[in-house]
Structures are given as C-alpha cells and as structure tokens.
Amino acid sequence: MDLFEKCASFTKADEIKALNLYPYFHAIEESEGPVVQIEGRKVIMAGSNNYLGLTAHPKVKEAAINAVKKYGTGCSGSRYLTGTLDLHVEMEERLAKFMGKEDCLLFSTGFQTAQGVVPVLVQKGEYVLSDKDNHASIVTGNLVAAGMASYTGDGSQSIVRYKHNDMKHLEQMISGLPKDAPKLIVTDGVFSTSGEIVNLPDMVKIARAYNARIMVDDAHAVGVIGVGGRGTASHFNLVKETDLTMGTFSKTFASLGGFVVGDRSVINFLKHHAAALIFSASPTPASVASALAALDVLEKEPERVDRLMQNARYMRTHLSQMGYRVGEHDSAVVPVIIGDTEKVLAMWRALFDAGVFVNAFIRPGVPPGMELLRTSFMATHEKQHLDRILETFRAVGKQFGVAN
C-alpha cells in the first residue's frame, strides 16, 4: 500500500463540507476583536482566545509597526545564534518579574515551549505525570520525552497519565513510582476545552510528599485569573510552590510566541539544551513588541481582567438559565455541552448564519457525549454583543430543542 493511501481515503472533512456544516478554517477578512468579518458578513466573535481584546489595541498595533521599522520583519536565526534582540531580553525580564519568578525563556510558540521544556528536563529513569486532559502541546512534549516522536528522548523516560484533575488518582499513580526517582507533574492551569481550573493546592501537597516538581501550562490563565491576571499559581497564592509556569502570546498577549518562567538555573539549563529553542528561529520583532505592549496594558489596566471575568460570568449565568448545560468553572471559557456531533455541527451552522461565531468541539477532540460548542469571551465584548449572542443562542437552542 502507498504511504499516501490514508490521505486519499480521508473523506470525512469533505463529507461535512458537502453538508455545509464544516466549522473549521473559515477565513477572517477583518477584525476589531469582538466583531469580525467572515464571508463578507459581520459576525460577533464568541470563540476567540484574545481574552483582553488587545489584538485591536492601538498601542499594541503601534508597537508591532514600530518594531518592523526598527528591526525588520524577521530575526532569521535562533535565539542561540543571530536571533536574539534586545526586545526578547526585555520581554524575558518583564515576564519573569510579572509572574514572580527568577527568570524566563521565550520560544516561538506555546506549542514549542512544551516541546522545549518537558523532554529536556525529564531524562532517563525520570517520570512525567500528566493530566489525561492536558493540551496537545504537552501530550506531544510527553511523547518526545518518551522517545516516541523525535530523536530527543531515548525511550527510557516514563509517562504516567492520571485521571483528569483527580488528585486522588495522581497520588495513587505517583505512590507506585520509585520514591527517589525525579518526577515532573504537568498540568494545564485552566483547561482549554472546559475552562476548569486545576486543583493546584492538593497537587502541591502531593508534589512535596513524592519528590516531584510541578509545571503549569497557563495559556488560558495568564491575563484571566490570579492577581492582576498573573495566572493559576497566583490565583491560589502558590507562586513559590509552582516550579515552572509556561504560557503563550497567542491569547491574552495578542501576538505569537511562548514562554516559560522558573528558577534561574532551570531556565539557563533549558536555554542550552532545548532543541525547540536552539533549532528554531526566534519570535519576530513585531510578535515580541506587540506582546510587550500587551503586557504594559495588562499591568497598567488590571481592571480589564475584572471586566473579562464579569463578561464570562454573565454569559455562564444566562446560558445556564436558558437550560443549556454549561461548564461551571470561573474562567473565560464557557463550554456549552450538547453531547452529539451532528447537533453540534448543525447548531454551529445556525449560530454562524445568525451572526455568531463559536467553536465546535467534536470527537476525538472531546470524549463521546461531551461534544460541545466552546464559547470564550473578551474584556472588550460590550453588553450589546453579549446580549446578541444570548438572543441567538436562545433562538437556536429552541430550534434544536436544547434551550427554553
């Protein structure tokens, strides 16, 4: 059989397109944040991770433009060689300080950050303990560590998956591992599909008892939870106890890039060993400058974080009152659980036709029965936007028999 046979026989996406129900890869033609233009029509965006709405902030845009004028469009090299700008160094210092850690290292994306940290830190005879629902970047990072996805790992590291946010199960699994073996517990801070916040206090107790370090992926937590948007560790007042926090510029920071913060010696080690850093070009001048400007806004205007949370709470409450099954967690992600793939796709289309864009999550992205419409909100959604989204959800929910 030919290698490409599997590609030629993959017809699922085309079948859904033929039904006019395909919810992915729709090109945005213009964007102001809460309102975007798709296929020539203005629609309200209710599925973006642009949590503080800063992609449209004049200072953030201006910073990107000025960086292009000063440094050009790209770095053409990795951080290791010719790709370090003073902007990267400034952002690392600022982020380390913001997150309350000694040092920081930037990567070109959040996805690469996980690849750059997990397989490098967890070596032969050491263990990764990973939440079953962790983001794909961590899952791939784990596979790399186990030598299943790249040359980096030698296959002698062990990956242990524990039940989602289940600290009893984590303890059960960790207690069966060699007591003195070094271990890394990896978890999302705010889980990207459900918006659930990790049980960090219990995780810290377990880590202490079983010789483990903790790494939290705060992609959906920085700018959202914690004091002034400082993320999960800050939310629980456990900054010192959380060894490493990684994050992304692709959400609150309105740009593209990734980062990890932690102790100076750890960051220094990663800097000199992470293939994802050493063999990949550094984030572009415009990417770092805009993320820096977004950090300025976040530091100067923490009230934006409060507005974001108020918006998400307003939506959670009203969607729930309409009879929808929604995630209960206090973050900016509000999943609307429908539990059926066909219904999710048909509702996605009806919402889109009525001028509201959400994300359709179907299997294998979610377990059977958990097919959902993922909504997420921004600090810059105004009440009129939120009420339009609610009205549309009410009408579509009635049509499909899932709302009253």
Ligand X SMILES: Cc1ncc(COP(=O)(O)O)c(C=O)c1O
In whole angstroms, the minimum distance from the beta carbon of 107 to ligand X comes to 8
Q: Is 250 in the site for ligand X (CB under 6 A)?
A: yes
Q: Is 135 in the site for ligand X (CB under 6 A)?
A: yes
Q: Is 217 in the site for ligand X (CB under 6 A)?
A: yes
**260 vs 274: CA distance, rounded Å:** 12
Specify the 3-state DSSP secondary structure of 133: coil
In whole angstroms, the minimum distance from the beta carbon of 62 to ligand X comes to 23
Identify any residues that bridge with 78 across adjacent strands, giving them in sequence order: 281
Distance from the Cα of residue 309 to its chain's centroid: 17
Could you tell me the CA-to-CA distances from 279 to 74, 177, 257, 271, 394 in Å, in that order? 16, 34, 15, 11, 50
Task: Give the contacts of 24 (CB within 8 A, at least 6 positions apart).
Answer: 13, 360
In this chain, which of 131, 133, 188, 243 binds ligand X, going by CB under 6 A?
188
DSSP assignment of 90-115 equals: HHHHHHHHHHT-SEEEEESSHHHHHH
Give me Rg for the CA atoms of the chain: 21
Q: Is 115 in the site for ligand X (CB under 6 A)?
A: no
- State yes or no: cis peptide before 364, omega within 30 of 0: yes
Stretch near ligand X under the rule CB under 6 A, chosen from 203-211, 217-225, 229-237, 389-397: 217-225
The two beta strands, 158-162 and 183-188, are unpaired
Stretch near ligand X under the rule CB under 6 A, chosen from 156-164, 194-202, 216-224, 313-321: 216-224
In whole angstroms, the minimum distance from the beta carbon of 393 to ligand X comes to 23
Q: Is 366 in the site for ligand X (CB under 6 A)?
A: no
Q: Is 219 in the site for ligand X (CB under 6 A)?
A: yes
Q: What six digits make up the tokens of 198?
A: 């990790």
Contact criterion met (CB below 8 Å) for 132 and 164: yes
Shorter beta-carbon distance to ligand X: residue 108 or 311: 108
Q: Is 232 in the site for ligand X (CB under 6 A)?
A: no
Q: Is 133 in the site for ligand X (CB under 6 A)?
A: no
Q: Which of residues 81-110 bind ligand X (CB under 6 A)?
A: 109-110
Residue whose beta carbon is closest to ligand X: 110
**365 vs 390: CA distance, rounded Å:** 25
In whole angstroms, the minimum distance from the beta carbon of 186 to ligand X comes to 11
Q: Is 258 in the site for ligand X (CB under 6 A)?
A: yes
In this chain, which of 165, 248, 311, 375 binds ligand X, going by CB under 6 A?
248
Shorter beta-carbon distance to ligand X: residue 234 or 376: 376
Q: Is 336 in the site for ligand X (CB under 6 A)?
A: no
Stretch near ligand X under the rule CB under 6 A, chosen from 54-62, 197-205, 214-222, 232-240: 214-222
Contact criterion met (CB below 8 Å) for 169 and 187: no
Shorter beta-carbon distance to ligand X: residue 120 or 402: 120
Shorter beta-carbon distance to ligand X: residue 217 or 243: 217
Shorter beta-carbon distance to ligand X: residue 196 or 217: 217
Q: Is 374 in the site for ligand X (CB under 6 A)?
A: no
Sheet holding 372-376, edge to edge: 325-326, 333-337, 372-376, 359-361
Q: Is 192 in the site for ligand X (CB under 6 A)?
A: yes
**300 vs 294: CA distance, rounded Å:** 10
Contact criterion met (CB below 8 Å) for 127 and 181: yes
Q: Which residues bind ligand X (CB under 6 A)?
A: 109-111, 135, 137, 188, 192, 217, 219-220, 248, 250, 258
